[in-house]
A = this chain, B = another copy of it.
């Protein structure tokens, strides 16, 4: 259910962030749902609590989750969708990087568009 992989190129905390974002988009996690506590999740994944904390802090900064003192951590009501210009540019550069790498692995523009479509189909299937 929770794939955390030390060999993944993404940092562990990023994998957690991505996983929760994914669950929210898929609808598996809905606004108001409680997410595991830092310690719970850390022991579930057998990783360090600081790593989970870092993921939660980042998610809270992005207003995707809310921590209510004494009660726990919950999926936020209104995931803010604000475009941050410099962040957008960064991600565009990452996208371009990925495209260049895929090009040299023999994938065409159409192949890459298909890859992206596939990602969205996986994400939106359960919505």
Partner-B contacts on A (CB < 8 A): 6-12, 14, 18, 21-22, 25, 61-62, 64, 66, 68-69, 71, 79, 81-84, 87-88, 90-106, 109, 112-113, 115-117, 119-120, 123-124
Contacts and interface: CB of A to CB of B under 8 A. Distances in A.
B99 A116 contact: yes
Q: How many copies does the complex hold?
A: 4
Contacts of A69: 6, 11-12
25 contacts: A7-B66, A8-B93, A9-B90, A9-B94, A10-B94, A11-B69, A18-B96, A18-B100, A21-B100, A21-B103, A22-B96, A22-B100, A25-B103, A64-B104, A81-B106, A82-B105, A82-B106, A87-B101, A88-B105, A91-B102, A95-B98, A95-B115, A98-B98, A109-B116, A113-B117
A25 B48 CA distance: 34
Nearest to A68: B6
Given A7-B68, A11-B69, 20 more contacts: A6-B69, A6-B71, A8-B93, A9-B90, A9-B94, A10-B97, A21-B103, A21-B104, A22-B100, A25-B103, A84-B105, A91-B98, A91-B102, A91-B105, A95-B116, A96-B119, A98-B98, A99-B119, A99-B123, A109-B116
